Amino acid sequence: MHLDKTLTGLPWMGHAPGPTRISRIETDKTILPHLPLSTEERAGNLIRVCVAGGTSHLRTHVDIDLESGITKLEGVIAARECYRDRVTVQIVAFPQSGVMRYPGVLDLLDEAVRNGADLVGGIDPLEIDRDPKGQLDGIFAIAARHGVGLDIHLHEPGEMGLFNVQEICDRTKALGLVGKVTISHGFCLGGVTERKAAEAAATMAEAGVSLVTHGAGGLTMPPVEMLRAAGVLVFAGNDAIRDTWSPYGTGDLLERAAMIGWKADFRRDNQVEVAFDLVSAAGARALGIGDYGIAVGAAANLFTITASCVAEAVAAHPSRKLVLFEGKIVARDGAFLAAPIRIASDFVA
């Protein structure tokens, strides 16, 4: 997701995103600095919404660019600090505007990692930067230097996208980053022949490169079931939630699972359970969250919901009755609790 971009908590603003990714990037720079709420306040608003929806762990990209430097990162880190006893937050230093197009961005990404970002991001090395070697060598060098992972937005279609999937996997293996690299979106995987998609899946599985999807509207869906069968760790997230790019999104990951299931034409219960796995256990594995799941002795991170089975919970996604984080009640009946309620240890025992 993108905590720094959200308009959550502000009165409704008309949405008029430009027709291209570049125009939306430029529009952000004219709107976000002039909002009446700071990055920290808007990020905090969305964190509360996500917690109320049962989210225990989230990963956010934060824009790093020449205009704003690392100030958005500082705002999101302040929000993370504020809610550290309700949710964990991983931050990706995200070069939304490009890397090689703007000399100085690589230095800012390095500065971001030294100042609290957990991963290095990237974006469309060919389409945005027209310099795949420059961008990928640059961001992988930062990740290797600091021992952190990468999460790279790859919107590029067809052969262009497949080329960069290969380049990302090659560098992941060469630098010993197997299991620490994610491709966000990967639309190309759903827009090429089955044979080429299968070859890319095998390459990703071998390199331990995971894929995150949000079931984007108007674009091809990566073949989730094929990728999983090939051994690729596929998971799902929200991406934009009510921001200058899109009016949609509520932060509810069960609703997101339903949207992905609808988009992927998952109709059988066992397929809906796959959609649920994408937003739960698979996501936890990709984020490196140990001690995950409902098991004796595991961390008490869970929610309760009125549904007879997982498929019903996804399809109907009623509000969460109780949300627990590390044994504390942090939300009740869909509402975030300003003061978490600690469950007595004798009750837990």
222 versus 340: smaller Cβ distance to Zn ion:
222
With the CA atoms of 15, 21, 27 and 32 taken in that order, what torsion angle do they form, in degrees rounded to the nearest 10? 80
Instruction: Identify the helix (H) or strand (E) that includes residue 340.
Output: strand 335-342
- Which C-beta is closer to Zn ion: that of 127 or that of 239? 239
Candidates 129, 239, 243, 277: give the one binding Zn ion (CB under 5 A). 239
DSSP 191: S
Q: Are the CB atoms for 119 and 151 separated by under 8 Å?
A: yes
Cα–Cα distances in Å, from 261 out to 53, 198, 200, 273, 283?
19, 21, 23, 9, 16
Stretch that binds Zn ion, among 4-12, 23-31, 134-142, 237-245 (CB under 5 A): 237-245
Quick check: 127 binds Zn ion (CB under 5 A)? no
Least distance to Zn ion, CB of residue 153, Å: 6
Binding part of the chain for Zn ion, among 106-114, 133-141, 223-231, 233-241 by CB under 5 A, reads 233-241
**C-beta of 1 vs 230, nearer to Zn ion:** 1
Judged by CB under 5 A, the stretch of 34-42, 65-73, 238-246, 332-340 that binds Zn ion is 238-246
* Cβ proximity to Zn ion, 1 vs 311, nearer residue: 1
CA separation for the pair 146, 119 (Å, rounded) = 9
Q: Which is nearer to Zn ion, 40 or 239 (CB)?
A: 239
Smallest distance from Zn ion to CB 61, Å: 6
Q: Which range touches Zn ion (CB under 5 A), out of 6-14, 120-128, 236-244, 255-263?
A: 236-244
Rounded CA separation 317/181 (Å): 30
Judged by beta carbon, residue 139 or residue 324, the one nearer Zn ion is: 139
Nearest residue (beta carbon) to Zn ion: 239
CB atoms within 10 A of CB 188: 25
* Min CB(28)–Zn ion separation in Å: 12
CA 197 from centroid of its chain's CA atoms = 22
* Listed residue (56, 48, 1) closest to 303, CA to CA: 56
Which is closer to Zn ion, CB of 183 or CB of 192?
Answer: 183
Shortest Cβ distance from residue 1 to Zn ion (Å)? 8
Question: Using CB under 5 A, which of the segments 49-57, 120-128, 137-145, 235-243 binds Zn ion?
Answer: 235-243
HSE-CB for 78 with a 13 A CA cutoff: 14
Q: Write down the least CB distance from residue 244 to Zn ion, Å.
A: 13
- 116/112 Cα distance (integer angstroms): 6
Minimal distance in Å, beta carbon 50 to Zn ion? 15
Q: How far is the CB of 184 from Zn ion (least distance, A)?
A: 6
Which letter, b or e, does each residue of 158-178 get, where b requires 16 or more Cβ atoms within 10 Å of its Cβ? eebbbebbebbbebbeeeebe
Rg (CA), the chain: 19
**Closest of 223, 342, 236 to residue 279, by C-alpha:** 236
Q: How far is the CB of 307 from Zn ion (least distance, A)?
A: 29
> How far apart are alpha carbons 161 and 133 in whole angstroms?
14
Q: Give the C-alpha separation, 304 to 334, whole Å.
A: 11
State the minimum distance, in angstroms, from the CB of residue 68 to Zn ion.
Answer: 17
Question: How many binding residues for Zn ion (CB under 5 A)?
Answer: 1
Residue given tokens 């959200």 in the structure block: 6
Nearer Cβ to Zn ion, position 126 or 307? 126
Residues that bind Zn ion (CB under 5 A): 239
